[in-house]
Amino acid sequence: MTYGSNEEPESITGPFGNQWYFKDEETFAEDHGMWFEEFYDFYYGYDDYYYDEDDEYYSEEPAFFTFIVEEEALNTWGMLFAYEEDMSDLTLMTST
């Protein structure tokens, strides 16, 4: 993992040596508008709502969420997210 001048994680190296850069939602949308639309269609395009004991809808939001982008060899994007604060179950979803 590489860190920026502000000591925040900047990128991570994948298993085949490709560099994946972390981007927040706003930066991802600005830099990669079409990929953001693809993400939005996927993430919000299905019914991820559940009923609670009062028969009210709720949606589980992740505790941690960030985009990752590989712009050179693979030219693709993904998301890292976790529903637990301790990130004990970190999930990677890629667009390909």
| CA–CA gap between residue 40 and residue 21 (Å, rounded) | 19
Q: Which residues of 40-64 are buried (b: 16+ CB within 10 A; e: fewer)?
A: eeeeeeeeeeeeeeeeeeeeeeeee
- H/E element, 39: helix 33-44
The band of 41, judged by pLDDT with boundaries at 50, 70 and 90, is confident
DSSP label of 42: H
As given in the structure block, the two tokens for residue 3 are 């860190």
69 or 57: which leads in pLDDT: 69
Whether 16 shows a pLDDT value over 80: the answer reads yes
Q: How many domains does the chain have?
A: 1
Residues of the domain holding 18: 2-94
Residue 95 amino acid letter: S
Please tell me the predicted confidence (pLDDT) of residue 27: 92
Average pLDDT rounded to a whole number, residues 26-50: 78
In this model, does residue 13 exceed pLDDT 80? yes
